[in-house]
Chain A
Amino acid sequence: MNPGFYLRTLARESRGARGRLTFFALCLATGVAAVVAVAGLGNGLAGGVRSQARQLLAADVTVEGLHAVPKPVLEAAGRRVETGELLELVTVVSVPPAVAGDLAEAISAVPQAPPHGSAGDLAEAISAVPQAPPHGSAGDLAEAISDGADGRRQPDLANEPGHSRLVELKVVTGRYPFYGTLVLSPERTLSELLTAETCVVAPDLLHRLEVPRDGTISIGGARFRIGGVIVAEPDRIAGALSIGPRVFLSREGYARTGLGGFGSRVVHRVLFKLPEGAGPEAAQALAERLKKATGDSSAYRVQTYVDARPELRQGIRRVERFLSLVALLSLLIGGVGVSQSVRAWIASRLDAIAVLRCLGMRPREVFGLYLGQTGLLALAGSLAGAAAGLLLLVLVPRLYAGFLPQGWVTPWQPMAVLRGLGMGVGVALLFSLPPLASVRRVPPARVLRRDAEPLPPSRATLLFAGLLLAGGLVGFAALQARSLRIGGLFAAGLLAAAAVLGLSAFGLSKALGRVPRLSVAWPLRSGLSNTGRPGTGVIGSIVALGLGVLVVLALQLVHTHLADQLVADLPQGAPTAFFLDVQPDQWPGVLEVLRSEGASGVDSVPVVMARLSAINGKDVEVIAARQSGQRSENRRWALTREQRLTYLDKLPRDNKVVEGKLWADPRPEVSLEAEFAKNLGAKVGSMLTFDLQGVPLTLLVSSLRTVDWRTFGINFFFVVEPGVLEDAPQNRLAAARLPKAKEQRIQDLLAQRYPNITVIVIREVLERVVKVVQRMGIAVRTLGGFAVLTGIVILAGAVSAGTVRRGRDAALLKTLGVTRAGVAAVFAVEYALIGLVAGALGTLGGYAIAWLVVTEGFEMPWRSPLLPGAVSVAGAVALTVLAGLGASARALRRRPLEALREE
C-alpha cells in the first residue's frame, strides 16, 4: 500500500471508534498522567538544584571539615578569590528565666530604667518605675534578676527556666552569602544586624520559645538580643529534614557563648567566590588547588557549585525513582486494559478483516492498518494523560507549599511530556501486540463461514510476543529507575506477581464455578455460574484490579508501620532523650536534675574523641584514597570520621560478641561493631592506631559484636578495655527516659545551668521524621490510587465489552419475567464475586509484600492490622459493583426484543 492510501484507509477504519477511544484513552491516560507528573516533578527539582546550585552552596566552592580550615588552604585560593567563613553547630537556645512569660510583658510596661544590679529594689521598681527602659537593657535586667532575685519576693520567676529549643546555629564571618539573598526583617544586611550582642533567628523559633521579636535569648553561656528575623535563607531548603530552626551569630557573639570548647561538634566551612564571570572550569580548578592545599586530606570536603548538594540530588533521585516505578505500575496496569480493549475490538472486526482479506489485502497490510490505529489511539490517550499530568504539576506545588521550594516545579515540562507520550504509546503497542497478531491469522474464508475463527498463533509468535513484552517491561522500568538492575528486578517482581494473581484468579473462578449452587438463591446461583466460566476479560480485570489493590494496600501498610514504629513504639525501657557533650565535672549536677525531675533509666558513658590513623600500621588516609566501587563512600566515611570511643567493663545487654573474646588478651583491646569493622576492613587480630589529640594509641581488635540498634540505647562502634582511656580528655554521653510531662522542663533547666549540653529528645526528632514520611506517604498513595483507578476502568471496560452478551442475558431474564432490579441484582452478584476475588487476592499480596518490605527491608517487627485488609476487600467489592453496574447500564435499559432480534 502506498502511504497516502494507507493513511486514507487508516482514517476510514477509525470511524466509530469514539467509544473505544474513551476506554482506551482512560486506561492509558491515568498511567501517563502519573508518569508525566512524577517526571515533571523530578525534572523540576533536579533543575532547581542545578539552576540554583550556587545559591544552595552560597558560593562557587566550599571547604568544610570538623576542624578550622588551615591558613595555607585559604591562601591557596589566591588574591582574586573572596572568602567568607561559617561555623555550623547544633545547640540549645533558651529564654533567659526572668524574661519569660509575664515578666517580659511587665518589663515592656515598666516606665523607668531600674537601678542597675539591685534585685531587691528592682521588684519594687517594676511596679512603680515611671519610665521605659532604654533599648538594649533588657538583657542586663534579666541578668540582674536571675543573679540576685530574692526567693521570697519573686520565687516562681527566679526559679522557673524559660523555654528551650534545639537550633542549628550558623556563625558568620565576612560576606555571606555570595549567591542568593538572605532576606531579613528589618530589611538590612546580616552584618548590619549582627553585633556581639545580637542574633538573627528564624521566625519559628520566636513562636516556639514564645519570645517577642525584640526579645532576648540565651545561647551557650551568653544572652543575645534578637536583632532580626530571617525571611528567606538561600542555602536552606524549606521543610527538608532539619534538626531545628536557624540562628545566626557573629563571630564575636559566638566567642561569648563559650560553645567552641573541646568535644563539641562544629562544622567549619569556608566559602569561596570566584571573580564575576568565572565558569564551572574555574570552580573545578580552584577546588583542585584547595584539595591539594589540604594535602588531599579526607578530613576536609571540597565542593563546587557544579556538584553542589550531592545528598540533596541523591535524595531527589531516590524519591523520583521510587515514585517513577509506582507511576509505571499504573501505566502497566493500564496496558492490561489496552490489551483487553484491543482484543475485544479485533473480535468485533473479524468480519471486516475477512472482507479486507477477500478484497486482496495482504495479512501484513491488515496488521499494519490495525497497528497504526492502535498507535493513533494510544497517542490520543497519552496526550490526554500528559495534559492531566501537567495539570497535576500545577496542583502539586500548591498541595506541598512550604515543602517544595517555590518556583522549582513548573507545569511546562516538555521532556516529561515526551517521556509520558513515549511510554504511553510504547506500553500500548507492547500490550496490544499479542491480540493484534491474531489479525494476521483471520481466515478470509470467514466471509463464507461465519464460524471460521482466527487460527491460534504459532508457538514462535507467542514466544516472540512474550519476549518482546518482557523486554519492553524491563526497558521501561530501567528507564524509569535509571538502572538496569532495578528495572530488571521490578519487571521480574511484577511479572511474578501478575502470574501468581492470574493463576490464582483462574483457579478461584474455577472453584467458584464448582460450588454447588442449586440450593442457593438464584441471583447468587447465576452470579456463581457467570464467574465460574470467565470470559476472556474477567481474568485480566481481576489481575489488574488485584494489582491495584495490592499496590495501594502494600504502600499503606508499609507507611503505617514506618510512621507508627517511629512514634509510638519506642521499645520499652529505651531512652527518650540523649545528652551530648556533658563535661565530666557537670555530670553530678546533670544527674541531680534528672533524678529530681523523675527521669528513669539514666545511663551514661565516657566519650573520647579520636581519629583513626592506621590499621595494621597502614596509614588510614592511604587506605581511604584507595577505596573504589559501590561501598567506597561508606568505607571512606568509616575510616576518616571523627571516631567516638568509650570504655566499658561489661557490654550493654543489646550487644552480642560474635567473634573473638572480650578483655582476654594482655595487650590493650578494643571491641568493634561487626558491620563497622567490615567497612574499616578490620578483623579480629587487627591493630588499630588512634590519634588522641596528638597522642598515638594502638589497640588490638579482640572481638567483634553485633548491636541491636532498635533499642535506641547508647552504643558505640568502638568499646575499649577499661584502664586505657581513663586519663584521656573526654566528655560524657548520657541517655535517660524522661517523663513526657517533664521533657520540656528538664531541657529548660539544663539549658539554663549547662548551656554547652545539647539535649536531643528523640520524640521531637522522630516526629519531624514522621512528618516527612507522612508527606511522602500522601504522594505515594496518590500514585497508588492511580493504579486502582486504572484497575476499575479496565473492569468497566471488560464489562462493557461484554455488553452484547449481557444485553442478551438481561433480555432473556426480562422475558422470563424478572424485573429490572432483579436483573441488576444478578449482575451485582457477579461483579461482587469478581471484586471479592480481586480484592482478596490483592489484599493477600499486599500483606505479603508489605511484610517482606517491613521485616526484611526495614528490619522492623511486623504487626498485622486487620482493618486495612478488611477495608481494601470491602472497597474492591464496592467499587467493582459500582463500576460494573455503571458499565452495564445500557444493557439493563434495552428492551428485550431489541436484544433478541440481533441474534
Chain B
Amino acid sequence: MKPALELRGVVKRLPSGARTLTIVDGIDLSVAPGEFVAILGPSGSGKSTLLGLMAGLDRPTAGEVFLDGQPLHSMDEDALALLRRRSVGFVFQSFQLLQNLTALENVLLPAELARLPEPRSRAEELLAAVGLAERGHHYPSQLSGGEQQRVALARAFAPKPAILLADEPTGNLDSATGAAVLDLMAELRERGGTTLVLVTHDAELAGRAHRKVFLRDGRVERDERAG
C-alpha cells in the first residue's frame, strides 16, 4: 500500500546569525495510512520543524517529502495550499484559533475552503462531538484553554483530512484536560481512519501511539512499534 507520508533524506538548515544551523539532518520516514505515529525528543531536537516539513509549511533544504503520494518539495505555494485544504488537519500547542471568528466559524472555515457539501451541519456536528454544541457562538477569548483546544480539534477534522498533524496538543493544558483532549482526538481519528502524526515530549501521551519515533539532534535515534 502507498504510504500516507514519506520522507527521504530530508535536511533542513536555517541561518542563525552568521552560522547555519542544521535542524533536521537527513531523516527517512514512512507513515502508513491510518497509522498513529508519535514523534518524541527533547526540545531543540527538530520535532516541530519536521512537522512543518511534513505539511509543506516549510521547504526542506534537501531531500524529498511525499504526502499522499504527492511530492511536496517540488510543489509551489498555491499547490501546497490546495493540498493542505483537502488533506491535512492541524492541531497546535497554542491552539491558533482565529480570534475574530466564533468557535463555529473557526470550524466552518476549513470545511468551506474544502467545499464540503454541507459545511454548516458538518461544523455543528463536529462541535457537538467535542462537547461544545452550545458554545458555537462564543469567541475564542471567551473559552477556556481546554475548550479552545477542543474547538481546534473540531476544526482540524472539519475538512475530513487524510492526515492530522498535532504539535504538542496538550502542552498548554493541565493533565486532566489534556487527557480528555487526547481521548477526543483518538476517538475522532478512529472514526475517520485518519493518519495521525503527533509531536510531543510527553512519554505517557506517546504511549497511545502505534509507533514512537525518537529524534535527537535532527536525526532519528530510535523507531519503536508497539505490539
Asked whether A and B interact, the reply is: yes
Query: Among A5, A15, A16, A361, which residue has its beta carbon within 8 angstroms of that of B81?
Result: A361
A359–B84 touching, CB < 8 Å: yes
Once bound together, how far apart are the Cα atoms of A678 and B151, in whole Å? 84
Interface contact A445-B52, CB-CB below 8 Å: yes
User: Which listed residue, B51, B83, B85, touches A448 by the CB 8 Å rule?
Assistant: B51
Which of B91-99, B128-136, B213-221 is found at the contact surface with chain A?
B91-99
Kindly provide the distance from the CB of A51 to the nearest chain B CB, expressed in whole angstroms: 51
A364 to B79, CA, bound (A): 12
Which residues on A sit within 8 Å (CB–CB) of B98? 352, 355-356
Contacts of B55 in A (CB 8 A): 358, 444
Asked if A352 and B81 make an inter-chain contact with CB atoms under 8 angstroms apart, the answer reads no
Q: How far is the CA of A16 from the CA of B58 in the complex (A)?
A: 30
Which residue of chain A has its CB nearest to the CB of B86? A360
Q: Which of A356, A359, A448 contacts B167 (CB 8 A)?
A: A448
Supposing A359-B85, A360-B110, A363-B81 touch, asked if A448 and B100 sit within 8 A by C-beta, the answer is no
Contact A361 B57, beta carbon cutoff 8 Å? no
Contact with A along B68-89 (1 / 0, CB 8 A): 0000000001100111111010
Residues of B within 8 A of A445 (CB): 52, 57-58
Q: Whole-angstrom distance from the CB of A534 to the nearest CB of chain B?
A: 24
Give chain B residues whose Cβ lies under 8 Å from the Cβ of A355.
96-98
Query: Is there an interface contact between A362 and B81, defined as CB atoms closer than 8 Å?
Result: yes
- Is the beta-carbon distance between B90 and A362 smaller than 8 angstroms? no
Q: Render A410-439 as a binary contact track against B, CB cut-off 8 A, 1 for contact.
A: 000000000000000000000000000000
CB distance from A366 to the nearest CB of B (A): 9
Residues A737-763 near B (CB distance < 8 A)? none
Tell me which residues from 113 to 157 in chain B have a Cβ below 8 Å from any Cβ of chain A.
113-114, 155
A333-366: CB near B (< 8 Å → 1, else 0) gives: 0000000000000000001101111111111110
CB of A152 within 8 Å of the partner chain:
no
Q: Given A352-B99, A447-B57 in contact, is the A362-B82 Cβ separation under 8 Å?
A: yes
- A358 (CB) vs chain B CBs: closest residue: B90
C-alpha gap A9/B81 in the complex (Å): 17
Q: Determine which of A15, A359, A363, A364 lies in contact with B109 in the assembled complex, contact meaning CB atoms within 8 Å.
A: A359
Which residues from A are CB-within-8-Å of B112? 5, 8
Task: Tell me, in angstroms, the Cα distance from A449 to B109 when the chains sit together.
Answer: 23
Please encode chain A, from 154 to 198, with 1 for each CB lying within 8 Å of some chain B CB and 0 for all others: 000000000000000000000000000000000000000000000
Q: How far is the CA of A8 from the CA of B114 in the complex (A)?
A: 15
Interface-central residue, B48, B84, B88, B167, by most chain A CB under 10 Å: B84
A364 touches B57 (CB 8 A): no
Of B77, B105, B114, which contacts A12 at CB under 8 A? B105
The verdict on A13 contacting chain B, using a C-beta distance below 8 Å, is yes
Q: Given the known A-B contacts A12-B101, A351-B96, A355-B96, are A447 and B90 also in contact in the complex, defined by CB atoms under 8 Å? A: yes
Q: Is B45 an interface residue (CB 8 A)?
A: no
Q: How big is the B interface, by class?
A: 20 to 34
The number of A-B residue pairs with CB atoms under 8 Å apart is 83
Question: Taking the complex as formed, is B49 at the interface, i.e. its CB lies under 8 A from any CB of chain A?
Answer: yes
Whether the Cβ atoms of B78 and A360 lie closer than 8 Å is no
Please name the residue on chain B nearest to A1 by beta carbon.
B113
Shortest CB-to-CB span from B73 to chain A, Å, is: 15
Least CB distance from A20 to B in Å reads: 12
Query: A448 contacts B49, CB within 8 Å?
Result: yes
A444 to B113, CA, bound (A): 16
Separation of A443 and B78 alpha carbons in the complex (Å):
13
How far does the alpha carbon of A365 sit from the alpha carbon of B99 in the complex, in Å? 19
Chain A proximity of B116: nearest CB distance (Å)? 12
Q: How far is the CA of A445 from the CA of B80 in the complex (A)?
A: 13
Q: Are A15 and B100 in contact (CB under 8 A)?
A: yes
Complex: how many Å from CA A747 to CA B83? 94
With both beta carbons as reference points, the residue of chain A lying nearest to B98 in the complex is identified as A352
* CA of A362 to CA of B79, assembled, Å: 8
Instruction: Give B50's nearest chain A residue, CB to CB.
Output: A448
Rounded to whole Å, the gap between the CB of B139 and the closest CB of chain A is: 9
Query: Which of the residues A352, A354, A356, A360 comes within 8 Å of B114, measured between beta carbons?
Result: A360
For B78, what are the chain A residues with a Cβ–Cβ distance below 8 Å?
Answer: 362-364
Residues of A within 8 A of B51 (CB): 448
**Residues A361 and B100 in contact, CB atoms below 8 Å apart:** no
Given contacts A358-B55, A443-B57, A448-B167, contact A16 B84 (CB under 8 A): no
Most buried by B among A355, A358, A363: A358
Chain B residue numbers with a CB within 8 Å of A362 are 77-78, 81-82
B81 to A448, Cβ gap below 8 A?
no
The CA-CA distance from A360 to B97 in the complex, in Å, is 15
Residues of chain A contacted by B58 (CB below 8 angstroms)? 443-445, 448
B-binding residues in A (CB < 8 A):
1, 5, 8-9, 12-13, 15-16, 351-352, 354-365, 443-445, 447-449
Given contacts A360-B114, A445-B52, 11 further A-B contacts (CB under 8 A): A1-B113, A12-B101, A15-B100, A355-B98, A358-B96, A359-B85, A361-B113, A362-B81, A362-B82, A444-B58, A448-B92
Q: What are 30 A-B residue pairs whose CB atoms fall within 8 Å in the complex?
A: A8-B112, A12-B100, A15-B100, A352-B99, A352-B100, A354-B96, A355-B96, A355-B98, A357-B81, A358-B55, A358-B90, A359-B85, A359-B90, A359-B109, A359-B110, A359-B155, A360-B82, A360-B83, A360-B86, A360-B159, A361-B85, A362-B82, A363-B77, A365-B81, A444-B52, A445-B52, A445-B57, A447-B57, A448-B49, A448-B58
